[in-house]
């Protein structure tokens, strides 16, 4: 298949009989470690994928925004009056939400005609939603010459998703789609929004991150995600802290003693996961890849046992990858399906992928897909 950038440009030219003013892209992402920590003011360590959503666009004199999705094969049109959360739904809620969030922030995005094409798998936990928001945002900011510096863009895209689409996500995915740098993982403090680009050239060390898409159907994603977030907020209030970020490892036993069983386990995950992110950054900086692997596997156990966001397919993929020689493995993303990351010696990627496929077949699961991921850059104009 031709890349999304080429398809966006070609479909634009075919539909409108003219070339777009430009083409903008934003990537999907995986999260190396730091799950469900972002909305607890904690730490995350994602990197962007080479899988891109592309937007070909041109300003429009109609005063409205027209967005065509190549994959859906449908077009949505909306004007300023339609920019009320809930008015536009389906895939078009993401671009409409971005226009709304820009307006809400006092900016005036230019009316435009946009064509979207995607190479980011949908429903796989690889943040296709954030990639769509950030590609549209980047296009509109550029087309309109809007005063919105890069560091402020993730929160505008997040606001589109929280307040317009209605998904109470944190800021990790939009930050990854916007701020990532090729060859690096993005270490983000979700409270201060400080970032550091951590060199992550695993190939140079003979290692690879194998992404295994379990193709497990996502179950209860929205409701369970919101429930986890609500439990964290209740625990925060009970502990009298601003966010679970403020509970340190030393305070943990005392804090946990004050919570009920569910809140105790959710809190333990968040607090220990924050520490695992810090330890992973130190391990990457120290070139300690076995250490990174151990932290990934510990993170998975915490998501499975304490946060309870895994499903049999992802647990099976992790166990099988480890048994086949992976140095570490964990689910990535919000949970309840999606992808597993395995840290694998570069010459073992095919063997690990085959082992997982074999176990899935034996257990009657849908066939998984696997690819090696190298860290890509964030949203940008490419033409
Ligand atoms: C989803 C959300 C993110 C983050 C992850 C879990 O991807 O969009 O904000 O909370 O889940 O780490």
pLDDT per residue as tens digits for the range 374-383: 999 999 999 9
Q: Return all residues near 302 (Cβ < 8 A) that are at least 6 apart.
A: 268, 269, 272, 273, 276
Q: What's the CA gap between 234 and 242, in Å, rounded? A: 11
Q: Whose CA is nearest to atom 11 of ligand 1?
A: 334
CA–centroid distance for 280 within its chain: 18
- The verdict on the CB of residue 43 being under 6 Å from ligand 1 is no
What is the whole-number distance in angstroms between the Cα of residue 11 and the centre of ligand 1? 32
104 is catalytic: no
- Per-residue pLDDT tens digits for 12-46: 999 999 999 999 999 999 999 999 999 999 999 99
What is the whole-number distance in angstroms between the Cα of residue 17 and the centre of ligand 1? 39
Q: What's the CA gap between 8 and 23, in Å, rounded? A: 8
Q: Return all residues near 29 (Cβ < 8 A) that are at least 6 apart.
A: 46, 47, 48, 49, 126, 127, 130, 131, 173, 176, 177, 180
What confidence score (pLDDT) does residue 236 get? Answer: 98
- The verdict on the CB of residue 188 being under 6 Å from ligand 1 is no
Q: What's the CA gap between 339 and 212, in Å, rounded? A: 5
What domains are defined for the chain?
A: 3-198+377-381 (3.30.230.10), 200-373 (3.30.70.890)
Angle at 92 between CA 90 and CA 97, to 5 degrees: 110
Share of the chain above pLDDT 70, in %: 99
Among candidate residues 334, 5, 376, 381, the one with its CA nearest the CA of residue 179: 376
Return the best residue to mutate from 170, 188, 310 for the ligand 1 pocket (most ligand atoms within 8 A of CB).
Answer: 170
| Other CB atoms within 10 Å distance of the CB of residue 172 | 30
Q: What's the CA gap between 113 and 121, in Å, rounded? A: 24
Q: Return all residues near 316 (Cβ < 8 A) that are at least 6 apart.
A: 356, 359, 360, 363, 365
What confidence score (pLDDT) does residue 220 get? Answer: 61
Element (H, E) at 46: strand 46-59
- The verdict on the CB of residue 333 being under 6 Å from ligand 1 is yes
- Full DSSP string of 344-361: EEGGGHHHHHHHHHHHHH
**Model-level pTM?**
0.97
- Per-residue pLDDT tens digits for 180-233: 999 999 999 999 999 999 999 888 889 999 999 999 977 666 799 999 999 999
Strand-by-strand arrangement of the 184-189 sheet: 43-44, 184-189, 195-199
- The verdict on the CB of residue 172 being under 6 Å from ligand 1 is yes
- The verdict on the CB of residue 271 being under 6 Å from ligand 1 is no
38, 41, 119, 173: which one is catalytic? 173
Mean pLDDT of the chain: 96
Among candidate residues 131, 127, 164, the one with its CA nearest the CA of residue 380: 131
Packing angle of the helix pair 261-285, 289-302 (nearest 10 deg): 170
Element (H, E) at 338: none
- Per-residue pLDDT tens digits for 295-328: 999 999 999 999 999 999 999 999 999 999 999 9
């Amino acid at each position: 298949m031709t890349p999304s950038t080429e398809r966006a440009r070609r479909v634009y030219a075919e539909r409108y009989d003219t070339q777009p003013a430009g083409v903008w892209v934003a990537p999907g992402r995986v999260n190396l470690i730091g799950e469900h920590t972002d909305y607890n003011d904690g730490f995350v360590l994602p990197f962007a994928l080479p899988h891109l959503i592309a937007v070909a666009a041109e300003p429009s004199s109609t005063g409205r925004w027209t967005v065509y999705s190549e994959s859906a094969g449908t077009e949505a049109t909306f004007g300023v009056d339609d920019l009320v959360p809930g008015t536009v739904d389906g895939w078009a809620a993401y671009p409409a939400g971005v226009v709304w969030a820009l307006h809400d922030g006092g900016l005036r995005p230019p009316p435009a005609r946009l064509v979207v094409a995607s190479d980011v798998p949908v429903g796989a936990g690889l943040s296709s939603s954030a990639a769509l928001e950030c590609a549209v945002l980047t296009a509109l900011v550029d087309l309109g010459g809007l005063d919105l510096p890069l560091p402020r863009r993730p929160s505008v895209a997040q606001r589109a998703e929280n307040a317009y689409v209605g998904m109470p996500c944190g800021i990790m995915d939009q930050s990854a789609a916007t701020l990532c740098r090729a060859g690096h993982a993005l270490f983000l403090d979700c409270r201060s929004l400080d970032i550091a680009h951590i060199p992550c050239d695993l190939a140079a060390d003979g290692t690879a991150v194998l992404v295994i898409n379990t193709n497990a159907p996502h179950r209860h994603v929205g409701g369970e995600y919101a429930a986890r977030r609500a439990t964290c907020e209740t625990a925060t209030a009970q502990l009298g802290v601003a966010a679970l970020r403020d509970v340190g490892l030393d305070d943990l036993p005392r804090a946990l003693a004050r919570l009920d069983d569910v809140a105790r386990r959710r809190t333990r995950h968040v607090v220990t996961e924050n520490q695992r992110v810090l330890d992973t950054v130190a391990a990457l900086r120290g070139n300690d890849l076995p250490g990174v692997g151990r932290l990934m596997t510990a993170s998975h156990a915490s998501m499975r046992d304490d946060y309870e966001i895994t499903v049999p397919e992802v647990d099976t993929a992790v166990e099988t990858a480890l048994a086949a020689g992976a140095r570490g493995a964990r689910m990535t993303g919000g949970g309840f399906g999606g992808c597993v990351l395995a840290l694998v010696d570069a010459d073992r990627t095919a063997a690990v992928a085959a082992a997982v496929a074999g176990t899935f077949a034996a257990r009657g699961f849908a066939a998984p897909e696997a690819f090696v991921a190298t860290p890509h850059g964030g949203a940008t104009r490419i033409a």
